[in-house]
């Protein structure tokens, strides 16, 4: 190797490590070619070679007349999954038992969590939240243990309303109802817009928690074809609207769980127009919207809602703490009354202390800095997970390339039954999520959801390698 070759690789590896450690975060500009030349004593052509190398590996992208930015598009060897093609009939859901079996099996074992539902504790500000809880308890009076505001702590609602500006939402504190996570908000929304026996249009596949809510309310689902990059197929959805087949639709428009798909802004805008045209409500779950890997926060369908057809919800579960159970509903004027009544008649209001603790954290800590670090960690971990899957799984595997959140969807050879794989992996203390949980149609039996919420480690490398080996063995 020539000395110059050696130099450029050395410097490229150094920068790669700085990106992995988050010193240069996703969306940030790297030193200019001239700065690299001056600070590292390399020639301009070597500096250009460094960036060319990092660009080829997918870590960075050049922007015209602006320089090089951390971007993270991994070199993907595996193909993307094809758009889904669910059956055309509306069906009742029956997955509660399956999920219960998984929960019980998980409960009694210590596993390597390739199924983690939140980012790892070390990526979340739990020590600061714990301190906020203690300070809240100390600062408050016995009288705070009385009933409080049905819609939630007003200063917290104001803070949430201000944050909606990040997706260009024009929301005030009085539009917000604090809930016990997005799950409670979604359950209210379903009950506000539909009754038992009604049909809800959903993405296929979708989060099993949503399917379980629909199951427990005796409603049906109509699964709609969904693209792993751009989300739900709007033509198919409009067809269901036109034929009056659905009472409402329910979407995870940003970084769907499990696909990681994110509807482009143009699709969100088009969907808002369809809701208006056919007068169909949309229940929008934006639980992952803050966890974009790139520089920009995606819009929501609510961003484009002009006449109240979108009922929006989100929570702090994926960004601060799932255990404090603080989420929020923004039902919009059309459905606000029903949702408020449902809150009144179920839990009356969300427990005040966790609301105060989250508010204390938001007032005294730098949420944006925390989110920046979290997004960067998730972006890198997602790449590391994708790299390992590509390395250890068979060639005919398909894999999503999410640009936010921490869920990856793996489509295996049709011969693989991922319930069987789930059981075999559990014997090695590895937890994965079988694909059939994400549909009402006994589909996705050859699919798997894995989580990149946990920082990379030798244990994770071993777990992915072992799962890949099990798949290869099952194919023999």
Ligand X SMILES: Cc1ncc(COP(=O)(O)O)c(C=O)c1O
**Interface with ligand X (CB under 6 A):** 117, 181-183, 207, 209, 252, 257, 285, 287, 315, 317, 322, 327
Which is it for the CA torsion 351, 355, 356, 358, positive or negative? positive
Shortest Å, Cβ 315 to ligand X: 3
Shortest Å, Cβ 33 to ligand X: 42
Q: Hey, is 225 helix, strand or coil?
A: strand
Shortest Å, Cβ 319 to ligand X: 10
Report the alpha-carbon distance of residue 57 to residue 386 in Å, rounded: 14
Nearer to ligand X by C-beta: 70 or 358? 358
Shortest Å, Cβ 256 to ligand X: 7
Nearer to ligand X by C-beta: 68 or 328? 328
Report the alpha-carbon distance of residue 317 to residue 319 in Å, rounded: 6
Shortest Å, Cβ 89 to ligand X: 24
Shortest Å, Cβ 208 to ligand X: 9
Q: Distance between terminal CA atoms of the chain?
A: 42
Nearer to ligand X by C-beta: 136 or 321? 321
Nearest-CB residue to ligand X?
181
Shortest Å, Cβ 246 to ligand X: 19
412 sits in the region (left: phi over 0; alpha: psi -120 to 50; else beta) called beta
Q: To 5 degrees, how large is the angle CA 201–CA 207–CA 211?
A: 55
Torsion angle (degrees, nearest 10) of CA 178, 182, 183, 185: 50
Nearer to ligand X by C-beta: 88 or 323? 323
Nearer to ligand X by C-beta: 19 or 93? 93
DSSP secondary structure letters along 394-435: -TT-EE---SBSSEEEEE--TT--HHHHHHHHHHTTEE-EEG
Longest dimension (CA), the chain: 76
How many CB atoms neighbour CB 112 within 10 A?
A: 21
Shortest Å, Cβ 231 to ligand X: 13
Nearer to ligand X by C-beta: 59 or 422? 422
Cβ distance 329 to 339 under 8 Å?
yes
Nearer to ligand X by C-beta: 58 or 117? 117
Q: Give every CB contact of residue 246 below 8 A, 6+ residues apart in sequence.
A: 90, 198, 199, 200, 201, 222, 240, 280
Report the alpha-carbon distance of residue 235 to residue 227 in Å, rounded: 12
Nearer to ligand X by C-beta: 182 or 390? 182
Strand runs labelled E in 32-175:
60-63, 67-70, 91-92, 112-113
- Pairing, β 326-330 against β 433-434: unpaired
Of 286, 339, 344, nearest in space to 312 by CA:
286
Nearer to ligand X by C-beta: 118 or 397? 118
Nearer to ligand X by C-beta: 49 or 287? 287
Paired tokens of 456: 């990379």
Which is it for the CA torsion 331, 334, 336, 338, positive or negative? negative
Shortest Å, Cβ 453 to ligand X: 10
Give per-residue burial for 117-148: e unless 16+ CB within 10 Å, then b: bbbeeebbbeeebebbbeebeeeeeeeeeeeb
Shortest Å, Cβ 257 to ligand X: 4
């Amino acid at each position: 190797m020539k000395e110059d070759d050696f130099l450029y690789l050395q410097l490229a590896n150094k920068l790669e490590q700085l990106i992995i450690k988050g010193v240069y975060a996703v969306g940030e500009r790297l030193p200019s070619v001239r700065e690299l030349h001056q600070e590292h004593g390399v020639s301009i052509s070597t500096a250009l070679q460094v960036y060319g190398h990092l660009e080829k590996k997918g870590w960075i992208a050049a922007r015209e007349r602006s320089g090089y930015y951390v971007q993270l598009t991994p070199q993907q060897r595996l193909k993307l999954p094809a758009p889904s093609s669910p059956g055309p009939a509306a069906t009742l859901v029956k997955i509660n038992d399956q999920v219960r079996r998984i929960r019980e099996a998980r409960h009694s074992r210590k596993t390597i969590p390739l199924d983690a539902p939140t980012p790892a504790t070390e990526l979340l500000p739990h020590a600061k939240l714990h301190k906020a809880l203690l300070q809240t308890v100390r600062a408050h009076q016995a009288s705070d243990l009385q009933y409080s505001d049905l819609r939630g702590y007003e200063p917290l609602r104001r803070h949430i309303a201000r944050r909606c500006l990040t997706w260009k939402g024009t929301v005030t504190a009085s539009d917000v109802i604090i809930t016990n996570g997005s799950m409670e908000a979604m359950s209210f929304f379903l009950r506000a817009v539909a009754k038992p026996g009604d049909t809800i249009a959903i993405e296929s596949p979708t989060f099993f928690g949503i399917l379980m809510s629909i199951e427990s309310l005796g409603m049906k689902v109509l699964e709609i074809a969904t693209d792993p990059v751009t989300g739900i197929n709007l033509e198919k959805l409009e067809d269901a609207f036109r034929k009056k087949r659905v009472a409402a639709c329910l979407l995870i428009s940003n970084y769907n769980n499990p696909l990681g798909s994110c509807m482009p802004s143009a699709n969100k805008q088009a969907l808002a127009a369809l809701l208006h045209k056919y007068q169909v409500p949309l229940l929008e779950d934006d639980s992952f919207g803050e966890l974009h890997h790139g520089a920009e926060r995606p819009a929501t369908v609510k961003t484009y809602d002009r006449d109240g057809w979108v009922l929006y919800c989100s929570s702090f579960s994926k960004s601060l703490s799932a255990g404090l159970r603080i989420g929020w509903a923004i039902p919009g004027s059309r459905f606000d009354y029903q949702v408020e009544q449902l809150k009144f008649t179920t839990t009356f209001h969300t427990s005040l202390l966790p609301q105060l603790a989250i508010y204390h954290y938001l007032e005294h800590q730098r949420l944006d800095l925390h989110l920046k670090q979290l997004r960067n960690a998730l972006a890198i971990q997602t790449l590391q997970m994708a790299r390992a899957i590509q390395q250890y799984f068979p060639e005919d595997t398909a894999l999503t390339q999410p640009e936010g959140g921490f869920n990856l969807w793996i489509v295996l050879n049709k011969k693989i039954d991922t319930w069987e794989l789930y059981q075999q992996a559990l014997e090695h203390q590895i937890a994965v999520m079988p694909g059939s949980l994400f549909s009402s149609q006994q589909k996705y039996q050859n699919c798997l959801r894995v989580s990149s919420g946990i920082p990379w480690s030798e244990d994770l490398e071993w777990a992915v390698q072992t799962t890949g080996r099990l798949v290869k063995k099952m194919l023999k």
